[in-house]
Amino acid sequence: MTRVRILGLDPGLARMGWGVIEVAGNSLSHVANGVLTTDARESLGQRLLALHDALSRIIVELVPGSMAIELAFVHKDPSAALKIGQARAIAILAAARAGLEIAEYTPNHVKKCVVGAGHAGKEQVQAMVGRLLPVARVESSDAADALALAIAHAHLSATRARIEAALA
C-alpha cells in the first residue's frame, strides 16, 4: 500500500503551526507537529528568512509529498492580514522549491471536513484532531490547525482520486 506524507501549515508571522501526517489507504497516522516562532524584535526580512529556513529543514527531514495551507481571510486589521500573507508566501515558496503539490483551503472548509461544522471553535478542532490522531501530542492550537489542514487534504485527495478513477 502506498504511503503519502502531507504537511499542513497554519501560517503566521509570529507563530506558524505545522503538522505532518502519513496516509496509507484510509488510515491516518501522526508523524510530527510543532510551531515555528519568530522574534518580533527582529526585522521583517529576518523573521521571514527564519520561517523559510525552518520550514525548509522540516520538508527535507520529513519528506512530505504535498502541503495543505490555510487560505488567508480578510482580517479587521489590514496589517495582520499582510503579515499572514507574507508568511503564506514564504511557506508556498519553500514548498514549491521542494517540488511539493500545494493545496489551499479556507478555515471553514477545513473545520467542516474535520469537525463537521464550518464554524467549529479551536477547542473542537483540537479535540477532533486528538481523536483522529490519538498518539499525537498536540499542545498548541496552531499545530492542531495545521494537522487539521493535513487531515482535510487527505480526505479531499482520497475523494478526488475516487472520482477521477470512476471517470477514467
Find the CATH number of the domain harbouring 26. 3.30.420.10
53 classed as catalytic: no
77 classed as catalytic: no
Domain that holds residue 78: 3-167
DSSP the chain: --EEEEEEEE--SSEEEEEEEEEETTEEEEEEEEEEE--TTS-HHHHHHHHHHHHHHHHHHH--SEEEEEPP---SSHHHHHHHHHHHHHHHHHHHHTT-EEEEE-HHHHHHHHTS-TT--HHHHHHHHHHHSTT-----HHHHHHHHHHHHHHHHHHHHHHHHHHH-
Catalytic residue among 39, 70, 77, 164: 70
Residue 148 corresponds to which cell in the numbers above?
487539521
**Total structural domains within the chain:** 1
What pLDDT, on the 0 to 100 scale, is given for residue 72? 77
What pLDDT, on the 0 to 100 scale, is given for residue 150? 97
Which residues lie below 8 Å from residue 159, measured CB to CB, with a gap of 6+? none
74 confidence band (pLDDT: 50, 70, 90): low
Work out the number of other CB atoms within 10 angstroms of the CB of residue 167. Answer: 6
**Interval 33-46 mean pLDDT:** 97
Catalytic residue among 39, 42, 142, 145: 142
pLDDT digits (tens, 9 = 90+) for 45-69: 999 999 999 999 999 999 999 999 9
70 classed as catalytic: yes
